[in-house]
Amino acid sequence: MLRTLCRAGGALLKRSAPRLWITPAQQRWASSLPMNTVVLFVPQQEAWVVERMGRFHRILEPGLNFLIPLLDRVRYVQSLKEIVIDVPEQSAVSLDNVTLQIDGVLYLRILDPFKASYGVEDPEYAVTQLAQTTMRSELGKLTLDKVFRERECLNSNIVHSINQASDDWGIRCLRYEIKDIHVPPRVKESMQMQVEAERKKRATVLESEGTREAAINVAEGQKQAQILASEGEKAENINKAAGEAQAIMAKAEAKAKAICVLSEALTEHNGNAAASLSVAEQYVSAFSNLAKESNTILLPSNSGDITGMVTQAPGAVSAPVAVCGVLCGPLPVRGRVSSCSAGGEQDQYLRRRAAARRRAGGLLPRRAAFP
């Protein structure tokens, strides 16, 4: 019905030919390009540029529009959608003189159909060429390593440069993305070797750090072990010293008590005589022990005079009595030791002398003066 209405109004519709300003690789077809129409239906997101008698007249908005036959003509049809353009691969030289093969994708949109129609002959081709030249210029400012690391910065710089030049064309570049970067084979091999060396370096550093940490841990453990061992040894020595001190005190107390008991015994009746007999017995026993071993010993000149040794015994045992007087206090005087007289005391002395003589093997004389 619409076709009949259009024919009745003198409008002729036909399929439009490819746009003249689009390259063969980027051909796109318009929805319809009318010629000398009266009633027009403009699709959404399209702008039709109308010329009247060869001069720009107006831009048709989406929806129903009317034209004057023979005077008005739709000259351009511009799409207001986002357009994707494939930027061909091209060669570029980086700052460190490395030749690269790089391509990309450009995203743009027509903002002003009038400028896009009359500002440049082929807007998309012009933007594509501008993107290639800008990309070569930006790559020449960066080294190869920065090209790989700073892709986003490179893309934003290209977009900024394109927008500065395309404002007069009514086109806005939305973004630019680098697809592939191809480097020469030798450069690729050197990059691979560099990556391997960097990984080996990091592995070596990590291994050395692990070894250092392990050595520090071992040294710290040995330090703590030595500290604990020294503390244990210190505690052991303290305990030993305390035990030895207690043992010495116990021995001293026992010896003091023994001296006190001995001094008390010496104060008894005939205590000096008993002490003399004990000294004589120890003297004889010492000589008998010396005879069993072949040792060279210095003896006093009167070593064979047992009687003199016995007479000196009371003076020798008087020292313990004095010591006991200091340690245990004054001794109780139970009786006074008097000199021996004739009678029973002389008989006891002779019997003791005989017994001592038998023990000494006949070294004592048969008769000796009674002290």
Is residue 89 predicted with pLDDT exceeding 80? yes
pLDDT value of position 105: 92
Domains of the chain: 1-80 (no CATH), 88-106+126-196 (3.30.479.30), 261-290+303-360 (no CATH)
Is residue 1 predicted with pLDDT exceeding 70? no
pLDDT tier at 18, thresholds 50, 70, 90:
very low
Q: Out of 59-73, 215-229, 308-322, which region has the weakest mean confidence (pLDDT)?
A: 308-322
Is residue 365 predicted with pLDDT exceeding 80? no
pLDDT value of position 36: 52
User: Among residues of the chain, what percentage have pLDDT more than 90?
Assistant: 7
Is residue 12 predicted with pLDDT exceeding 50? no
Q: pLDDT (tens digit, 9 = 90+) per residue, 260-274?
A: 877 777 677 666 666
- What are the structure tokens assigned to 268, written together? 């008894």
Is residue 2 predicted with pLDDT exceeding 80? no
Q: Out of 8-22, 100-114, 341-355, which region has the weakest mean confidence (pLDDT)?
A: 8-22
Q: Out of 100-104, 125-129, 343-347, which region has the weakest mean confidence (pLDDT)?
A: 343-347
Q: Out of 18-32, 108-122, 129-143, which region has the weakest mean confidence (pLDDT)?
A: 18-32
Is residue 325 predicted with pLDDT exceeding 60? no
Q: Give the pLDDT mean for 100-119.
A: 89
pLDDT value of position 40: 83
- 50 and 75 in contact (C-beta within 8 Å)? yes
- What backbone torsions phi and psi does residue 12 show, to the nearest 5 degrees? -120, 125
- What are the structure tokens assigned to 151, written together? 């892709």
Separation in Å, CA 78 to CA 260, 265, 321: 135, 142, 139
Ramachandran category for residue 83: left, alpha or beta (phi over 0 → left; psi -120 to 50 → alpha): beta
pLDDT value of position 42: 84
Is residue 15 predicted with pLDDT exceeding 50? no
Neighbours of 32 (CB within 10 A): 18
Q: Out of 35-49, 92-106, 305-319, which region has the weakest mean confidence (pLDDT)?
A: 305-319
Matching residue, tokens 């003249």: 20
Q: pLDDT (tens digit, 9 = 90+) per residue, 46-88?
A: 888 888 888 888 888 888 888 888 888 888 888 888 889 888 8
One-letter amino acid identity for 333? V
Matching residue, tokens 């710290």: 220
User: Among residues of the chain, what percentage have pLDDT more than 70?
Assistant: 65
- What are the structure tokens assigned to 15, written together? 């399929």
Separation in Å, CA 120 to CA 16, 21, 138, 164, 333: 21, 10, 24, 15, 147
Beta strands in the chain (DSSP E): 39-42, 46-52, 55-60, 63-66, 72-79, 82-93, 99-110, 171-182
The Cα 360–Cα 270 span in angstroms is 23
pLDDT tier at 28, thresholds 50, 70, 90:
very low
The most confident of 13-17, 169-173, 328-332, 357-361, by mean pLDDT: 169-173
pTM: 0.46
What is the residue-averaged pLDDT of the chain?
74
Matching residue, tokens 């001069």: 55
The Cα 85–Cα 179 span in angstroms is 12
Say which residue, 338 or 118, is predicted with more confidence.
118
Say which residue, 338 or 165, is predicted with more confidence.
165
| Helix, strand, coil content of the chain in percent (nearest 5) | 55, 20, 30
- 46 and 74 in contact (C-beta within 8 Å)? no
What is the pairing mode between strands 39-42 and 63-66?
antiparallel
Q: Give the pLDDT mean for 168-186.
A: 88
Q: Give the pLDDT mean for 253-261.
A: 83
pLDDT value of position 309: 56
